[in-house]
Amino acid sequence: MNDACLEIVTQNDTAEGYLGNTSVKAGVFEYNLPPDLIRIRSVRVNGMKLSASTYEQLVDIDPQLTATTGTPHSYWVYGNALNLYPTPSDALGNVDILYVKSPDTLTVDMMERVPDVPLQYHPRIVEYCIAQAAELDDNIAQYQLKMGQFKSSISELRQNGEQPESASYYPSITYLSE
């Protein structure tokens, strides 16, 4: 289940967005990213959207990258840090990071908890688990079929604006004793 949820959020960014924020301090360009971040959707300082860049692109424009001060208009990520460019010259309120988060890890003791991916993806979790069971049983044809269904279904949800499915049912398998 955990692998399916992780695959869903990395493939689709899911419709869920999470907001992390911290105060912008004068003279500080580096801020810690949320520990559950998978992908950044947008970064804003006082409501103004910053453009994403790389360290290399910005240092080509300004060799004194971290010494330049002003109102930030760009950011780059290095390690687990969000870096603002130019370095804020004043305390500017908050830096807001809208991001896709890593799904919570579920354990056997937590089976009553609902996975934290949108509801329309829950049948996809079942398809993924059926595919993994088929692979363990060396049933490669069934594995390929179910993984194909899983991938095409999450792709369709992304293309259709991630609208919930009209039928609310889970795929199933029938076990026949041999």
| Domain positions in the chain | 2-13+117-159, 18-101
3-state secondary structure of 163: coil
**First-to-last CA distance in the chain?**
27
8 close to 156: Cβ distance less than 8 angstroms? no
86 close to 25: Cβ distance less than 8 angstroms? no
- C-alpha 6/C-alpha 20 separation (Å) is 20
Q: Which helix (H) or strand (E) holds 157?
A: helix 140-159
User: Mind listing the pLDDT tens digit for each residue in 127-168?
Assistant: 999 999 999 999 999 999 999 999 998 888 877 754 444 444
Average pLDDT over residues 89-105: 88
Q: What is the pLDDT of residue 163?
A: 43
